[in-house]
Amino acid sequence: MSMAGQTINDRLLAARHSLAGQGLAKSVCKATTEECIGPKKKHLDYLVHCTNEPNVSIPHLANLLIERSQNTHWVVVYKALITTHHLMAYGNERFMQYLASSNSTFNLSNFLDKGGVQDGGMSVPGGRMGYDMSPFIRRYAKYLNEKSLSYRAMAFDFCKVKRGKEEGSLRTMHADKLLKTLPVLQAQLDALLEFDCQSSDLTNGKGQTM
């Protein structure tokens, strides 16, 4: 059952965090609701802002997202992965450093949601059943884990290195370091290509945020 987009479960969880004075947990909850749309920009922007605040615990933030990824509802899990990916790309580097240095990874290799997405008793137009979306979630989690492992091995994000035909980081890298770097890059690219998402698969609110 849903109410104004968000489900009753979403509202109860947000209220519980409000009563406990847990602002960060409430924001993570709002970014990863059961509502079948992508995480709202205002929640993503706030969480990015939080990664730049010295009084915000990055481990706590990361663990909140990992905890949400253990939900049984595919929409919640997918939004937790999307939010994490957004923070890896746009948040303070401390967030990426924590994911790379800790054992906190997404353990979703066996994830399977056998349910479907319902909105007030009516199926979401074009929406995929949880069973169909589960493979994409498993592959997406694998890619994010591989991205963290790449950072752990190289101490930089391949997606953020300087590019260019003459001054690109990989073009100017010493041969010995390049030989160590290429296998790491290959592993990350393999995980990305394994996601194998076609345009026909992006027919719901979640896929369209990718």
pLDDT at 47 over 90: yes
**Integer Cα distance of 38 and 74 in angstroms:** 13
pLDDT tens, residue by residue, 52-61? 999 999 999 9
Q: Higher pLDDT residue, 21 or 185?
A: 185
Whether residue 18 is predicted with pLDDT greater than 90 in this model: the reply is no
Residue 170 pLDDT: 79
Question: Could you tell me if 157 and 169 are in contact, meaning their C-beta atoms sit under 8 angstroms apart?
Answer: no
**120 near 2, Cβ under 8 Å?**
yes
pLDDT, residue 1, reads: 35
Select the more confidently predicted residue: 33 or 4: 33
Annotate 153-179 with DSSP letters as a single string. Answer: HHSS-GGGS---TTT-HHHHS-HHHHH
Q: Which of 101, 10, 89, 82 is nearest to 51 (CA)?
A: 89
Note down the domain range covering 106: 2-209
Averaged over 122-151, what is the pLDDT? 81
Q: What is the pLDDT of residue 21?
A: 39
Global pTM? 0.78
The stretch 180-192 carries a mean pLDDT of 90
Task: List the CATH number of the domain containing 156.
Answer: 1.25.40.90
> Collapsing DSSP states into helix, strand and coil, what is residue 7?
strand
Q: How does the average pLDDT of the chain come out, rounded?
A: 81
Give me the percent of the chain exceeding a pLDDT of 70: 76
Mean pLDDT of the 46-74 span: 94
Phi, psi of 138 (to 5 degrees): -60, -40
Paired tokens of 8: 């009753």
Cβ–Cβ under 8 Å, residues 47 and 28: yes
pLDDT value of residue 84: 97
Of residues 12 and 185, more confidence is placed in 185
Query: Per-residue confidence at 110, pLDDT binned at 50, 70, 90?
Result: very high
pLDDT digits (tens, 9 = 90+) for 143-170: 999 999 999 998 888 888 777 666 777 7
pLDDT for res 91: 96
* Number of folded domains that form the chain: 1
The lowest-confidence range among 7-11, 35-39, 205-209 is: 205-209
pLDDT at position 10: 60
